[in-house]
Structure 1
């Protein structure tokens, strides 16, 4: 649990595609995001981070989660994070290319807070990143005990 100010808490980006990872980083840099970005490049890396927060390290402000991940699928990552007492309230934004109704339904059923389709166009992606930052990093109030 942490009383760390929101601007010092990281954004957890779970993304395996190097191009999308670079695009997301550039979008946040362009929008002058203050929060550090913590990257997990596959589902297993995301799961391996859980003990850090169980040991008292400040929880990320928000997780941006791709679904189509190697090693462990994004929905399984979401299930594990929701099952952990320490990360159960972590806001999770699914940011993916999947427009499948089954994925959308499953993500919300497992506790996703939002489901956003990744835009292909850079300018549209910048807009989406700005909206994510504005809402989750500036407007949203995270739980004090997170």
Structure 2
């Protein structure tokens, strides 16, 4: 199984990878740095046109990214017939009600607020791994 993480913050990407590994996730983790790169990855276009990148089983999406933010990318994913079945978990620093409502309106599968403590991040990522990789049946 492959997890694709879209996050512009290099420290957050490093912490997510470490948290996933610490929670027992041993499979592929791919990273993109913004919504534009995310859409290129998913559509195998641009810098990913000639690459054989693994299709993600789960997307972890930050909302606050340059060029194309998480809301814009989520809208494109859920409006595209070939992408809309991809499970998307928004993981962001926001806990604003309007962000939560907007992402669910756009079709997100889960919304979680990034913890500021690494141990809590490991717990949260472990719970996400257990739910999305071990419990539910993915398309």
What is aligned with 2:44? 52
- 1:87: Cα distance to partner? 1.1
1:63 alignment counterpart: 59
Partner deviation per Cα, 1:4-58 (whole Å, 9 max, x = no partner): xxxxx310100111111111000111122132011111111101112239x9976
Residue segments in structure 1 that go unaligned for 5+ positions in a row: 1-8
Q: Describe the SS at the equivalent of 2:44.
A: helix
- Which of these residues, 23, 27, 46, is aligned with residue 31 of structure 1? 23
8 Å CA contact 2:42–2:55 kept in 1: the answer is no
Q: CA RMSD in A?
A: 1.8
Query: Equivalent of 1:114, from 110, 116, 132?
Result: 110
Q: 1:101, CA displacement in angstroms?
A: 1.4
Q: 1:20 aligns with which of 8, 12, 21?
A: 12
2:94 maps to 1:98: yes
- Residue 86 (structure 1) shift: 1.2
Would you identify which runs of 4 or more consecutive aligned residues in structure 1 move more than 2 Å? Answer: 55-59
Aligned equivalent of 1:134, options 123, 130, 137: 130
Contact 1:12 1:39 in 2 (8 A): yes
Structure 2 gaps of 5+ residues are none
Q: Partner residue of 2:82?
A: 86
* Structure 2 Cα separation of the partners of residues 135 and 126 of structure 1: 14
Aligned equivalents of 2:132, 2:26: Cα separation in 1: 12
Q: What is the distance in 2 between the residues matched to 1:91 and 1:113?
A: 6
For 2:65 and 2:44, the matched residues in 1 are separated by: 21
